[in-house]
Amino acid sequence: MAVYTKTMTEGSEFGCIIKFTLPLLFGNLFQQFYNIVDSMIVGQYLGKEALAAVGATGSMTFFFYTLCIGLSIGTGILVAQHFGAGNEKYVRKLIANSAYATAAAGVILTVLSVLLAPAMLHLLETPDTIFDDAVGYMRIACAGTVAVAAYNWINAVMRSLGNSKIPLIFLIIASVLNVGLDLLFVLVFQMGVNGAALATILAQALSAVGCIIFAFIKFPQFGISREEARFDRSVAGNCLVKGVPIALQYAFISVSMIYLQRTANLFGDDVIASYTATMRVEQLIQQPFSSLGTALSTFVGQNLGAGKLDRCIRGYRRSMLAMAGFSAVMLGLFLLFSGNIVGFFVGDAEVINIGGTALKLSACFYVFLGTIHTTRGLLNGAGDVNYAMVNGFVEVIGRIGFATLLSNMEAVGCWSVWATSGLTWFITGVMSLIRYKGGKWKRHGIYAEKI
């Protein structure tokens, strides 16, 4: 019988992390792939105004999605630690109770986001030329929030049990489906930007349903008894204690991204389209950082659960070296080919010119972005989730503060949009390193009960 779970408490630290990272990376790249396909099809076939409409909704939909994502990450932390400690019964209770919370949060956020879409886009000062398309796209994208919640929950649980391959398989299938549906809805049915949004949420829903069915069939931890499936206030409370701070962190980051989107909107359609294209590229570049951080979180959770602090420290240090090397490669690549990369998304010469220069600026700060993801992975895996709120608050202050200051400086102008992100990454990355060096993370989670 195939074994679908894996402990990461033995063997080479970096070897464990890399083997776990690669399926995550491929999965994240495929997920971003169908986001990029949306932008390419919309930008090339519907024009820059349609691309700007899609981009104008990104920060708002991200806000609702990440509240669900934060809860799932909190669940993953607890499952990884207790799985590493061998507490199988408690793992099953965690899976059941976290599912209830995820479903409730997904439904509530779906309803709120669909109803509030026009008001929130007005708040962003979305230009009238793209407003109607932006509302339609956001409402359809947000209608899939419950699917996003389910997908991230099942992925967090599978990852915490040491399996990053099964979600990849379902995501590849969903990505291929998304490309086909994009072409069908946009080119054949002439549904405009609404078709692109519908294609994405249908693909996400399929991936979530497939993963959940597979988990209940193949993972022993999903063989939950009637007693273990009962709602347990204490277990649910533990999930919330870990999940809410991370959800708030992501919410803070979302608020800061909303403000930055608003700043981009003030400079007109060309800058909005350029920002949309560079954000799609940035989301792609972040995937190695994000995947490494997620793998490190699972690695640290399992090893702290097993009482192996030294493995956590060695794994973190080697992950940081890998991250720095990747950042250097991406900097060189973007200095040479940034304009060509933006050209994949839109044919307008002015948008390509702005976006190409912006990518070069952003790439200078990628090492700090990588530092945030890698260090956050260790801290989250250890259960040091209260810092997550501090981390998110710093990003809010940084993005709002720098965007307000720089956008009002005539010499900086529209470049304030990208300079703001870079400077915010720098400050947040340095603070994350300070938190790691302080060592407080060692006194969190069930490892603290072992010392």
Other beta carbons less than 10 A from residue 149's beta carbon: 28
Q: Is 10 exposed, middle or buried (0-12, 13-18, 19+ CB in 10 A)?
A: exposed
Residue 1: pLDDT band with limits 50, 70, 90 = very low
Q: What is the pLDDT of residues 348-387, one digit of tens each?
A: 777 888 888 888 888 899 999 999 999 999 998 888 888 8
> Please, how many CA atoms are within 13 Å of residue 183, restricted to the half-sphere of its CB?
5
Confidence check: pLDDT of 446 > 70: no
Per 3-state DSSP, the chain is made up of helix, strand and coil in percentages (nearest 5) of: 85, 0, 15
Q: How far apart are CA 257 and CA 3, in angstroms?
A: 41
> Which DSSP state fits 413?
G
Which phi-psi region, left, alpha or beta, contains residue 325 (left: φ > 0; alpha: ψ -120 to 50)?
A: alpha
Is it the case that residue 425 has pLDDT exceeding 90?
A: yes
Handedness of CA 292, 164, 440, 101 (dihedral sign): positive
Measured distance CA(404)–CA(420) in Å, rounded: 9
* pLDDT surpassing 80 at residue 5: no
User: CA quadruple 211, 215, 221, 225: dihedral positive or negative?
Assistant: positive
- Name the packing angle between helices 233-265 and 48-85 (round to 10°): 150
| Residue 281 phi, psi dihedral angles, 5° rounding | -65, -45
Tokens for 216, please give them: 């209940």
Stated length of the chain: 451
Closest-CA residue to 47 (of 415, 353, 351): 351
The span from the CA of 78 to the CA of 381, in Å, is 9
Query: pLDDT digit string (tens) for 71-104?
Result: 888 888 888 888 888 888 888 998 999 888 888 8
Q: Percent of the chain, pLDDT > 90?
A: 15
Cβ pair 294, 73 in contact under 8 A? no
> Residue 105: which of 76, 67, 79 has the closest Cα?
67
Under the banding of pLDDT at 50, 70 and 90, the label for residue 318 is very high
pLDDT number for residue 52: 78
Please report, for residues 38, 71, 220, 236, the alpha-carbon distance to residue 89 in angstroms, rounded to integers and kept in the order given.
43, 21, 11, 15
445 and 383 Cβ atoms separated by less than 8 Å = yes
Give the separation between CA 299 and CA 379, rounded to whole angstroms: 11
- Burial of residue 165, with CB atoms counted within 10 A of its CB: 0-12 exposed, 13-18 middle, 19 or more buried: middle
Average pLDDT over residues 393-401: 89
Higher pLDDT, 442 or 329: 329
Answer whether residue 449 shows pLDDT above 70.
no
